[in-house]
Amino acid sequence: MGAPSLSPRSILLFVCGEPRRGDDAAAFAAVECLSSSALQGVEVRRVGQLSPEDLVALGPNDACLIVDAVAGVPPGSVVRRDLASLLTPGDGPAPRSTHALPIPDVLGLAAELRGDLPRGAFLGIGGEAFGIGAGLSSSVDRALPAFVAAIEAELAALAGPTAR
Amino acid sequence: MATEAPSFERSFRVEGITRVEGEGSLHLVVRDGEVTEARLKIFEAPRYFERIIVGRHPDQVVDIVARICGICPVAYQMSAVSAFESIFGVQVDPVVTRLRRLLYAGEYIESHALHVYLLHAPDFLGYASAIDMARDHRDLVEQGLALKKTGNELMAAVGGRSVHPVSVRVGGLYRVPKKRELAALRPALARAIDASRATLNLVAQLDAPAFDRKARLVSLRHPTDYPLFQGRIVSSDGIDIGIGDWRTAFREEHHEGSNALHARTLSGETYMLGPSARVTLAADQLHPLARAALDGSGLRDAIASNPFWSIAARAIELIHYSAEAVDIIDAYEPPARPFEPWTPRAGAAGWGSEAPRGICWHHYETDDRGLVTKGQIVPPTSQNQGQIEADLTAFAPSILALDHDAATRRLEQLIRSYDPCISCATHFLDLTIDRG
């Protein structure tokens, strides 16, 4: 691709969803609540839809965390999946946001072009209502602190014990 | 007593069509070499956008309808904002109109690059997916992604975001870009022209299935510009009506098994929208670089008659919009103000704009405060759906000699030729439709 790699050990936080579509805004809302210490060394990209080129640009030492609302789990449930487990669509929770390419294709293309999947994970929160202008449902709103805590813990894990 | 010859029936069923936006299925039955049933089913949940917008301010509606689709949000915005500007009598600054074309060019480059390289090319090259194709044709996929990225960057520069842009408002734009912001995009767009020419050279060498038919082609047409959101609605068989007069030649109707309304001409005939229609009906308005590429390709007649060659029409439009974007940027001087003020009034107007996959037509009625009292949104895929089924019916007998999987892949390839956006097509005009 010729895209410049990020500096070594960069951590990218990809925020997916649609801020004006009910619980699809959950990831955007959670990122606003992250502490400044959790965001140290983290680059936040509010992409809405994840594209292969977002991941292809990651260098070999970079890591990423993808956050989105999901369907297929109880509203407000926080789920974590390895990126590799999202390569094939299954019966488990699936990212709710519409993507120009399905998430398995986005990850598969990135893996093919990079030679491997980037280091990282997917964190999602079960959504209930995705209507235009609806705001977060009460289930998701109540669970937002848990989602924020999970994101902070995952970012810390990706940074490693010596990064902070 | 005469004995009836045994009949031979083959059924093709694809429960989840891949590499299209949204969820749909295909059911096709062939009996004794004749297609007895061809149905492209759309079963995404109805989304009621036409009701959501009632009571809303026009600028809210422009943002809401953009959310119908993540692939062609600008098309929805431009149809809506143009209809409202028609109702309120707003004259948009010509420079702002050019900026809107620039925003739209970004959407075309992004959408067409995605479709040509990642959705449709795998069909022609015999791969099940873009991932499989990337293993053998890494350069091809990287070129497609680079083009797509250029389109996304153009949308972000003019629209504020690459997905669901937020800059369009009644009267103009909320913000216009600085000259240096657009100039920064020029090198990538110049490379996109070259990459698009390479794209056309590539797709022109592909082996498209033989399938010639005479479909009714419908597009916008403008006296000087390649059709986007101005001009008239024209067809290959003589329809020539005002851009707001869609209802005088076409209608929507409900078909069993689909959550999308289908569109037909008033006499019940199907028609084809999209790049093949535009390139055929407005070839003389293409950018000179794109027109020369079309002439050099020798594919003009094939694009008009064979839907599989829509991949070449998209490549030609990639050249056109990359080149037009460069021209707009080179001539750009920021306007005195980003938008014109307007006064609300009661009225009604329809307007269409050319989404990458065809005309997206809207009609709105407003009260004296300018709030929407009624809306109608006719997406391109619901207009193409009838022609897709007609093409499936005509094409299927020619692939019966193939094994079942190969024949099914050909049928899917035909559907993907229309770049259907099933998410867009799913809406109801009336919430009380009786499904029996």
Give bridge partners of residue A45 from the DSSP assignment: A14
Give per-residue pLDDT as tens, B214-262: 999 999 999 999 999 999 999 999 999 999 999 999 999 887 766 667 8
Cβ within 8 Å, pair A108-B67: no
- Cα–Cα dist B363/B228, whole Å: 17
Residue B111 has pLDDT above 50, yes or no: yes
Q: Which of A20, A39, A41 is nearest to A31 (CA)?
A: A39
Dist. CA B311–CA B298, nearest whole Å: 14
pLDDT tens digits along B150-170: 999 999 999 987 777 889 999
Is residue A15 pLDDT above 50, yes or no? Answer: yes
d(CA B122, CA B132): 8
* pLDDT for position B286: 98
B119's tokens: 């959705």
Q: What is the mean pLDDT of residues B188-216?
A: 96
Q: What percent of chain A has pLDDT over 90?
A: 56
Is B2 a residue whose pLDDT tops 60?
Answer: no
CB B361 within 8 A of CB B241: no
Query: What's the CA gap between B318 and B49, in Å, rounded?
Result: 30
Interface of B with A in 155-184 (CB under 8 A): 161-164
Least confident of A105-114, B408-417, B425-434: B425-434
**Contact criterion met (CB below 8 Å) for B104 and B4:** no
Q: Where are the domains of chain B?
A: 49-385
- Bridging pattern class, strands B232-235 and A42-48: unpaired
Tell me the β-bridge partners of A67.
Answer: A15, A123
Chain A residues touching B164 at Cβ < 8 A: 18, 48
Helix or strand or coil: residue B186? Answer: helix
Provide the pLDDT for residue B426.
43
List chain B residues with CB under 8 Å of A105. Answer: 118, 129-131
Q: What pTM value is reported for the model?
A: 0.86
Query: A126-152 burial, b for 16+ CB within 10 Å, e for fewer?
Result: bbbbbebeeebbebbeebbeebbebbb
Q: Which of B110, B139, B145, B148 to mutate to test the interface with A (most CBs of A within 10 A)?
A: B145
Give the other-Cβ count within 10 Å of B146's Cβ.
19
CA dihedral defined by B408, B40, A107, A158, rounded to 10 degrees? -150
Could you say which of B70, B145, B161 has the minimum Cβ distance to residue A1? B145
Kindly state the average pLDDT of the residues B371-383: 92
Mean pLDDT lowest among A101-105, B106-110, B409-413: A101-105
Q: Say if residues A63 and A115 touch (Cβ distance below 8 Å).
A: no
Cα–Cα distance between A38 and A153 in angstroms, integer? 8
Does A99 touch chain B if contact means CB atoms closer than 8 Å?
yes
CA separation (Å) from B65 to B128, B168, B326, B376, B384?
Answer: 33, 12, 28, 11, 20
Nearest to A15 by CA among A80, A64, A74, A58: A64
Q: Does B135 touch chain A (CB under 8 A)?
A: yes
Least confident interval from B21-30, B170-179, B273-282, B310-319: B21-30
A87 interfacial to chain B (CB closer than 8 Å) = no
Provide φ and ψ at A41, rounded to 5°: 75, 10
Q: Which residues pair with B42 in a beta bridge?
A: B24, B258
Contact residues, A window 43-82, toward B, CB-based 8 Å cutoff: 47-49, 51-53, 56
Segment B5-14, tens digit of pLDDT = 455 667 767 6
Encode pLDDT of B286-342 as tens digits.
999 999 999 999 999 999 999 999 999 999 999 999 999 999 999 999 999 999 999
Given a cut of 90, is residue A14 above it in pLDDT? yes
What is the distance between the alpha carbons of residues B41 and B332, in angstroms, rounded to a whole number? 45
CA angle B334, B335, B337 (to 5 degrees): 125
Cβ separation of A101 and B21 shorter than 8 Å? no
CA of B137, closest CA in chain A: separation in Å?
10
The model's pLDDT over A134-155, given as tens digits with 9 standing for 90+, comes to: 789 999 999 999 999 999 999 9
Q: Inspect the interface and report whether the beta carbons of B145 and A53 lie closer than 8 Å.
A: yes
> pLDDT value at position B434?
23
CB B272 within 8 A of CB B394: no
Contact predicate B95/B335, CB 8 Å: yes
Q: Is the pLDDT of residue B351 over 50?
A: yes
Q: Name residues 395-424 of chain B within 8 A of A (Cβ).
A: 423
Q: Which two three-digit tokens encode residue B76? A: 């929805």
Neighbouring-strand partners of residue B359: B354
Q: Does any CB of chain A come closer than 8 Å to the CB of residue B55?
A: no
- Specify whether the CB–CB gap between B82 and B222 falls below 8 A: no
Question: What does the DSSP 8-state code read for residue B114?
Answer: I
Over 60: is that where the pLDDT of A93 sits? no
Q: Which residues contact B54 (CB under 8 A, 6 or more apart)?
A: B372, B373, B374, B375
Greater model confidence, B423 or B435: B423
CA distance A4 to A86: 26
Output the CA–CA distances (angstroms, integers) from residue B226 to A107, B168, B264, B290, B325, in the order listed.
36, 21, 25, 11, 13
Q: Identify the CATH number of the domain defined by range B49-385.
A: 1.10.645.10
